[in-house]
Chains A and B, each alone.
Chain A
Amino acid sequence: MKRKIAVAAALAASLLGVAACSGGGTDEGATSATGKVDGAGKTIKVWLMVDAETSWKDVVDDASKRFTEATGAQVNVEYQQWANHLTKLDATLAGSDVPDVVELGNTEFSKYVFSGGFAELNKGDFENSDTWLSGLSGACESEGKVYCVPYYAGARVMIYRTDLFDKAGIKEAPKTYTDFLAALDKVQTGNAADKKFSALYMPGQYWYAAMSWVKSTGGEIAKQDGDKWVGQLSSPQSQEGLQRWVDMTKKYSKADPTKNENEQAGIVAQGSAGAFYGNGWEQGVAEETRKDPNDPNSALVPTKIKGKLAAAPLPEVPSFLGGSNLGVTAKSANKELAAQWVKYFTDSKSMEGLVKASALPNASSLMDKAAADNPKLAPAALSAKNSWFPPNAEKWADVEKASILQTMLTDILTGKKTVADGAKWADEQIAATLNEA
C-alpha cells in the first residue's frame, strides 16, 4: 500500500516535471501528426538503429524529403548501434538536448513508456494504424493511450542449404516438424566427415529461437495474474518445448552454447552448416559479404555458399516477431514536427521501400502485398502470420538485460541444470524482475 502511494506520488511529480520541461503550448493530450506545422528554420533530430543505414537508407531519405517539402523543417538522422543504445538513450533523455524521434526494439519500449520518456500520439493520424501488428504495437500502448508507432518487423525462418538438402534426398522444404528433424538427420549423416559440421547451427543463447520452441508446444514465458507477473517456463508445456529445443540443439548443432545469434550468418557462410534459424535478411548476409564490413555501400563479395540457400517457415514453430517502433520523446521541443516525420516514415509508401529491402511492413494488411512484391520476403511474411512476442511487461527489457533466459539456456544445454531446474530458476528470476517495485 505504502509503495503504491509512493509510486503514485512519483508519477504525479514526474508528470509535472515533464510538463514543465516540455514547454510546448499543448502539454495535455496527444501530439497531433496531421495539422499544418511551419517548421521553416527548424531541424528535428532522429535516432534510428544502424539497420536503416545499412539496408534502407533510401527510404529514410525519401521520407525526410517529403517531410521537408511539407513542413520546411530539416531532418538530422543519427544511426545507433544495438549493443549500447539504451545506455546512451538514458543519458540523453535525462538531459534537455534530446532527439525528437527515437527508434527502439519492440521489446524495449514498455520500460520507457512507463517511465514517461515518450509523448502520447494520436493513433488515427498514422496510416494503416488499425491493422498494426500487435506484436509491435502492444509495447506502445498503455492504459488506452498510444506512445509509439510500429516501424518494421522481422520474422524468423529456416534458412537452409539447398545443395546439401538435395544431396540428402530432400527436394523441398519440410512441411512438418517431424519431417524437419528427419531432414536434419539425413543432412547430418551425409556430412559426418566435417568435424565442424552442424546440421542446424543453433547458438546456445539464442533465446528468440528457444522461446519459439517453447511456444510450439503451447508454453509461455510469463503471464500476468492480477497485478503480478508469474513465470511460466516450469509449466509442463513450456518444459516440453525447452526439452525439444535442447534435444535438437544437442544433436544437430556444434555452435557455441554461450554465443548469441549475432554472428551466425558469418559462421554459416563458412559452409559447415546445413541450416540455421534467422531473420529473412540473414540469408543475404550469409551469401554475400561486404568487401569493407564497415562500409554499407562497398561492393558485395560472394561467400562459399552463394546461391545455395533458400528460406522457408519452420513448420509448427511460431516465429518470434521482432521489430522496432518509433516514438516522439516527451522532452522534444518539436513534438508535432517529430510526429509528422514519423507519419511519413511509416506510411504505405515508406513501407513499400522497406519491403523492397526485405523488411516486413508494420501492418498485417500490407503483409500479402509484401509477399507478392518481394518473393524473398514471402517465407518471412508467412512466418509472421504465426508469430509471438514477449510478455508486454514494463520491465521486460530488464529480463533481457539481466541475461536470465540466456543463462538458463546455456545451463540446460550444457547439462549444468536439468530443464526442470533451469526453468524453475528462470521463473523465479523473471518474477522477481518483472514484479520489482
Chain B
Amino acid sequence: MARHDDGVVTVGRSRIGTVFANTGGILFGLVMIFPVYWVLNTAFKPDAEVRSFTPTFWPENPTLDNFRSALGEQHFLPSMVNGLVITAMAVAAALVVGFLAALAIARFAFYGRKAIILVVLAVQLVPFLALLIPLFLMLQGVNLTNTLVGVALVYLVLLLPYTVWTLRGFISGIPRELDEAAMIDGCTRAQVFWRIILPLTGPGLVATSVYGFIQAWNEFIIINTLNDPNHQNLMAWLLYNQTERGTAWGPLMAGAIITSIPVVVFFLIIQRNIATGLTAGAVKG
C-alpha cells in the first residue's frame, strides 16, 4: 500500500499501472475536449481557412470577423434579447411559485403531501416534447403563439417540478430546531419564513435559478415551433442560420460560442450543486 503525494490510496499497484492510468486519463481528456477546441478554432479562422479542404489546426490568420458577422446578423441580437426576457420570466415565476410548494412539502405534515411529491417527481419524467402538439394548439387558441410570454409559460412548466424538488432539499437542510426556537420566541410562521428560511435558502435559490436559466436558454424545439423568426432565441438561430452557400460555419461557430458563454460560466459556478442535485432525485430537463 502506498500513499502518494496526491493523497490517493493506491493499493498494491505497480508504477507501470500508474503510468498507464495517467496516460489514459490525459488521452481521455484530450479526446473529450477536441470538439470544443475545434469549435473555438473554427470561430477564429477566416472563411478561406474554414472552407478549406486541408483544415489547419490553428487559425493561421486569426480574425474576429466571424464574431462580427454573427453579431451583425439581423436576427442575432434580437434573439439574444428574446432569450434573456423569456428566461428571466420563466425562472422568476418558477422560483416564486416553486418556493411556496417546496416550503409546504418540506415544512408541513399534511394530508396529501405524498401525492404532491409523487406528482412533482412523475411530471419531471414526462417527455415534454410529446406535449408539444396540444401545447401548440392551446397557446394558439389564446393567441399566445409568436409571443415571448407564451414560450415563457411553457418553460415555467418545464422548470417548475425541478425547482420545487431542489428547493425542498435546501429547505429540509435547514435545521427545524431553528424554526422551533424562533416560534418559542414568539415569531409567527410568516416571520419564521421571512427571517430564517428565506435568507438561509439564498444559495439554493441562486443555484436553482441558474440551473433553470441553463435549461430555458438551451431550449430550441419548443420555441422554434411556437414562434416566428422575430420571437426566437439564440439556440433556434443556431439551428437555422443559413446563407446562400448553405451553412456559414465560421460565423455559426462564433455564434455558438457567444451563445454558450453564459451557460458555461453559470455552469462552472454551480457545478457542485448540479452534480448533487441531479442524483439527489432531480432530473435534467
A pairs with B: yes
The listed residue (A95, A96, A294) touching B73 by CB distance below 8 A is A294
Q: Chain B contacts of A78 at CB under 8 A? A: 228-230
Binds B, one of A34-42, A204-212, A258-266: A258-266
- Known contacts A91-B136, A95-B146, A262-B242, A292 near B247 by CB under 8 Å: no
Any A CB within 8 A of the CB of B145: yes
Any A CB within 8 A of the CB of B189: no
**Residues of A within 8 A of B (CB-CB), count:** 33
Q: Which residues of B contact A (CB under 8 A)?
A: 47, 51-53, 65, 68-70, 72-74, 76, 136-137, 140, 143, 145-146, 224-230, 239-248, 250-251
Q: Chain B contacts of A80 at CB under 8 A? A: 229
B172: min CB distance to chain A, Å = 42
A74: min CB distance to chain B, Å = 17
Nearest chain A residue, comparing its CB with the CB of B244? A285
Q: Chain A contacts of B227 at CB under 8 A? A: 88, 91
Any B CB within 8 A of the CB of A295: yes
A92 to B242 Cα, complex, angstroms: 22
Q: Assess the A285–B72 pair: CB atoms within 8 A.
A: no
Q: Assess the A87–B224 pair: CB atoms within 8 A.
A: yes
Q: Assess the A292–B69 pair: CB atoms within 8 A.
A: yes
- Known contacts A270-B53, A272-B53, A91 near B146 by CB under 8 Å: yes
Q: Chain A contacts of B224 at CB under 8 A? A: 84, 87
Q: Assess the A294–B136 pair: CB atoms within 8 A.
A: no
Nearest chain B residue, comparing its CB with the CB of A96? B143
Any B CB within 8 A of the CB of A289: yes
The residue among A54, A91, A265, A294 with the most chain B CB atoms within 10 A of its own CB is: A294
Nearest chain A residue, comparing its CB with the CB of B140? A94
B280: min CB distance to chain A, Å = 38
A292 to B244 Cα, complex, angstroms: 12
B187: min CB distance to chain A, Å = 51
CB under 8 Å from chain B, chain A span 74-100: 78, 80-84, 87-88, 91-92, 94-97
Any B CB within 8 A of the CB of A25: no
The 0/1 profile, CB within 8 Å of B marked 1, for residues 292-328 of chain A is 1111000000000000000000000000000000000
Q: Assess the A289–B229 pair: CB atoms within 8 A.
A: no
A239 to B232 Cα, complex, angstroms: 44
Q: Which residues of A contact B (CB under 8 A)?
A: 50-51, 54, 78, 80-84, 87-88, 91-92, 94-97, 196, 262-263, 265-266, 269-270, 272, 285, 289-295
A91 to B147 Cα, complex, angstroms: 12
The listed residue (B51, B53, B251) touching A294 by CB distance below 8 A is B251
Q: Assess the A292–B72 pair: CB atoms within 8 A.
A: yes
Q: Chain B contacts of A91 at CB under 8 A? A: 136, 140, 145-146, 225-228
A265 to B248 Cα, complex, angstroms: 12
Q: Assess the B146–A294 pair: CB atoms within 8 A.
A: no
B12: min CB distance to chain A, Å = 52
B8: min CB distance to chain A, Å = 47
Q: Assess the A294–B69 pair: CB atoms within 8 A.
A: yes
A263 to B76 Cα, complex, angstroms: 22
Q: Chain B contacts of A290 at CB under 8 A? A: 243
Offer 27 A-B interface pairs, CB within 8 angstroms, sorted by A. Answer: A50-B242, A54-B244, A81-B240, A82-B242, A84-B240, A87-B224, A88-B227, A91-B136, A91-B225, A91-B226, A91-B228, A94-B137, A95-B140, A95-B146, A96-B143, A97-B143, A265-B244, A266-B51, A272-B53, A292-B72, A294-B72, A294-B73, A294-B76, A294-B241, A294-B248, A295-B69, A295-B72
Enumerate the 10 nearest inter-chain pairs by beta-carbon distance, A residue then B residue, closest first: A263-B246, A266-B245, A293-B248, A294-B73, A262-B246, A293-B243, A292-B69, A94-B140, A294-B69, A83-B240
A428 to B137 Cα, complex, angstroms: 32
A424 to B65 Cα, complex, angstroms: 49
A38 to B240 Cα, complex, angstroms: 39
- Known contacts A270-B51, A293-B69, A87 near B246 by CB under 8 Å: no
- Known contacts A95-B146, A96-B143, A97-B146, A293 near B229 by CB under 8 Å: no
A83 to B243 Cα, complex, angstroms: 11
Q: Chain A contacts of B68 at CB under 8 A? A: 292
Q: Chain A contacts of B251 at CB under 8 A? A: 292-294
A92 to B244 Cα, complex, angstroms: 25
A395: min CB distance to chain B, Å = 20
Q: Chain A contacts of B47 at CB under 8 A? A: 289, 293
Q: Chain B contacts of A263 at CB under 8 A? A: 245-247
Nearest chain B residue, comparing its CB with the CB of A301? B47
A265 to B243 Cα, complex, angstroms: 11
Q: Chain B contacts of A294 at CB under 8 A? A: 69-70, 72-74, 76, 241, 243, 248, 251
The listed residue (B65, B74, B145, B242) touching A95 by CB distance below 8 A is B145
A218 to B126 Cα, complex, angstroms: 52
Q: Chain A contacts of B51 at CB under 8 A? A: 266, 269-270
A292 to B65 Cα, complex, angstroms: 8
A51: min CB distance to chain B, Å = 8
Q: Chain A contacts of B241 at CB under 8 A? A: 81, 294
Q: Chain B contacts of A262 at CB under 8 A? A: 242, 245-247
